Homo-oligomer: A and B are copies of this chain.
Amino acid sequence: MTDVSVTTHVFDAAVDLFEVRDDRTEGHTHPAYANMVGPFGGITAATLLRAVERHPDVLGMPLSLTVNFAGPITDGPFDITARPVRTNRTTQHWSLELSQGGEVATTATAVFGLRRPTWSSTEPQAPAVPAPDSLEPTPLPDFIAWARNYEMRYATGVVPEEGSAEVADSTSTLWVRDVPSRPLDFASLTAMCDIFYPRAFLRLGRVLPAGTVSMTTYFHADPETVAAQSDSPVLATARAHRFEQGFFDQSARLWGRDGVLLATSHQIVYFKA
């Protein structure tokens, strides 16, 4: 692993990996990004993306990433295999597995590639919300360790208090930023795509068992556009479409402070209610 000095941001420490050799590397869960059971899904996704970014044969920038949360990750070291399955002229397809003690805990596929100038257009508009500084930060409950690494300022759909009423709309929209602040990159953007507490909590006004099963992110920005965000808050919004027989889906959009659509992200979530 690279030298984790006192000046390393906790996020970088959490996604840090040994050098990738022969399509293999190793990492370690970080207590600062612990969830109720195992690590925050967003940090696992970011770590897998980082494994591709660190691979000596990587082509270009991330275009899409699918992460499947197959089983629990235990606190401690883990192994990652990151295999460039096929490299074309402008795109490269990756298959990844994260395992512990030989058992697969997470699978993933990623597409990286080159971008070039084309006609461009963004159809939806960023939600019209107050500026970040005019909204109060609302932390998630303190026992959720990973959430302490994010400043979250909700414009709508704040975490319901115990005993809240049911609501008809599962939308949450918030400004999110790393704590301490940190320049945005693809790995931190990936983690932010999983920033939303389960939509079923909001709809039903209470905490219940829930966990992401599979998550797909499409990246719409090149490295320069991502870097231009610097440490400004990102505007993140998500909603569910259908809750049915133990699973619901969720679609999210992540916008830059300047109104640029950085990523769209989708997931299917297990829940019990």
Query: Which A residues form the contact surface with B (CB < 8 A)?
Result: 63-64, 66, 68, 70-71, 85-86, 88, 90-91, 93, 95, 97, 103-105, 107-109, 111, 113-124, 168-170, 200, 203-204, 213-214, 216, 218, 220-222, 239-247, 249, 251, 253, 261, 264, 266, 268, 270-273
- A118 and B216 within 8 A (CB): no
Q: Is B104 touching A107 in the complex (CB atoms < 8 A)?
A: no
Say how far A95's CB is from chain B's closest CB, in angstroms.
6
A115 contacts B246, C-beta separation under 8 Å? yes
Residues on B with C-beta less than 8 A from A64 are 68, 213-214, 268
Is A118 a contact of B273 with CB atoms below 8 Å?
yes
Cα–Cα distance between A76 and B49 once the two chains are bound (Å): 35
Q: For the complex, give the distance between the alpha carbons of A170 and B270 in Å.
A: 31
Q: How far apart are A79's CB and chain B's nearest CB, in angstroms? A: 14
Residue of A93, A115, A117, A170 with most partner-chain B CB within 10 A:
A93
Whether B111 contacts A214 by the Cβ 8 Å rule is yes
Chain A contact residues, majority secondary structure: strand
Please judge, given known A-B contacts A213-B63, A218-B249, A249-B218, whether A123 and B241 are in contact too, CB under 8 Å.
yes
**Min CB gap A142→B, angstroms:** 28
Q: Which 6 A-B pairs have the closest CB atoms?
A: A115-B245, A70-B93, A70-B86, A119-B273, A216-B216, A66-B66
Distance (whole angstroms) from the CB of A125 to the closest CB of chain B: 11
Contact of A88 with B71 in the complex, beta carbons under 8 Å: yes
Q: A221–B244 Cα gap in the complex (Å)?
A: 8
Q: A119-B243, A241-B123, A249-B218 are known contacts. Are A109 and B66 too (CB-CB below 8 A)?
A: yes
State the CA gap A70–B222 with chains docked (Å): 21
With a 10 A CB-CB cut-off, give which of A71, A119, A200 has the most chain B CB atoms.
A119
Of all chain B residues, which has the CB nearest A200?
B119
A270 cross-chain contacts in B, Cβ below 8 A: 90-91
Could you say which residues of chain B place their CB within 8 Å of the CB of A63?
213-214, 247, 268
Contact B253 A241 (CB under 8 A): yes
What B residues does A118 contact at CB under 8 A? Answer: 243-246, 271-273
